[in-house]
């Protein structure tokens, strides 16, 4: 149990010796690793692209076409300029949730990370509203108590849903590893909690964000 509590704590990876010491959390370091991995994969997968795709290029193009269609169906052609942000968001959250497979602690287990993601998502949605409809309509919309309440509850909902599910999956996997020794059980549990549930939570987070954006930019 003590080991479990230690694993649940957000740890400091190192401290930058300036201004009295700036602590850098494990979640921040893992995020840097994810960024480097995504950039490296992007370079490798887009190197020497062919007119007729084969192999990994087929998988990459198929994935990006699916994401483009998925978000276009929600946002419409009017919202195409916002799709790169949503695609970046889902790619990061998916990699963050899958980090446990590679021995890293998922950054999304840190509530500070999920709060930041939720805040960025809602700020982007509100920015899209202002871009499409103007600042005066945005301010006028806040006079409606329901819209004002949504501005508070939506980021809280996004943050706690992602954090709660990732943390719950992490706790279950730790319990399985320490309490169940049957051959194959940890592997099966990992396939669900680390892979399926991790990808599902990335999908849900960005799906809800895209719905909020579609509502913000609709005529």
| pLDDT tens readout for residues 73-102 | 999 888 889 999 999 999 999 999 888 788
Q: What is the pTM of this model?
A: 0.84
pLDDT at 178: 67
Contacts for 117 with CB less than 8 Å, ≥ 6 apart: 89, 93, 108, 158, 159, 162, 205
pLDDT mean over 27-32: 91
Q: Is the predicted pLDDT of residue 7 greater than 90, yes or no?
A: no
Nearest to 94 by CA among 205, 213, 6: 205
Q: Decide: 198 and 155 in contact? Cβ < 8 Å.
A: no
Q: pLDDT class for 181, splitting at 50, 70, 90?
A: low
pLDDT at 69: 92
- Rounded distance, CA 207 to CA 71, Å? 8
Based on DSSP, count helices (H) and strands (E) in the chain, helices before strands.
9, 2
Q: Decide: 176 and 37 in contact? Cβ < 8 Å.
A: no
For the chain, how are helix, strand and coil distributed in percent, rounded to 5?
Answer: 80, 5, 15
Higher per-residue confidence, 40 vs 180: 40
Q: Is the predicted pLDDT of residue 125 greater than 90, yes or no?
A: yes
Q: What percent of the chain has pLDDT above 70?
A: 85
- Rounded distance, CA 167 to CA 108, Å? 8
């Amino acid at each position: 149990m003590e080991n479990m509590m230690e694993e649940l704590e957000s740890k400091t990876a190192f401290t930058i010796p300036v201004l009295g010491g700036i602590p850098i959390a494990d979640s921040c370091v893992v995020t840097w690793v994810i960024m480097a991995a995504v950039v490296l994969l992007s370079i490798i997968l887009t190197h020497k692209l062919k007119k007729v795709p084969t192999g990994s290029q087929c998988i990459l193009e198929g994935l990006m076409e699916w994401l483009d269609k998925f978000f276009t169906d929600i946002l419409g052609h009017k919202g195409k300029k916002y799709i790169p942000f949503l695609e970046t968001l889902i790619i990061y959250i998916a990699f963050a949730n899958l980090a446990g497979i590679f021995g890293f602690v998922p950054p999304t287990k840190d509530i500070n990370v999920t709060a930041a993601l939720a805040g960025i998502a809602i700020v982007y949605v509100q920015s899209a509203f202002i871009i499409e409809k103007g600042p005066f309509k945005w301010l006028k919309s806040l006079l409606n108590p329901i819209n004002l309440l949504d501005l508070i509850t939506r980021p809280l909902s996004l943050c706690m849903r992602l954090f709660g599910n990732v943390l719950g999956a992490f706790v279950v996997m730790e319990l399985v590893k320490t309490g169940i020794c049957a051959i194959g059980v940890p592997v099966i549990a990992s396939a669900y909690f680390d892979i399926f549930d991790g990808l599902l939570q990335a999908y849900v987070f960005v799906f809800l964000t895209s719905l909020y954006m579609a509502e913000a930019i609709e005529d």
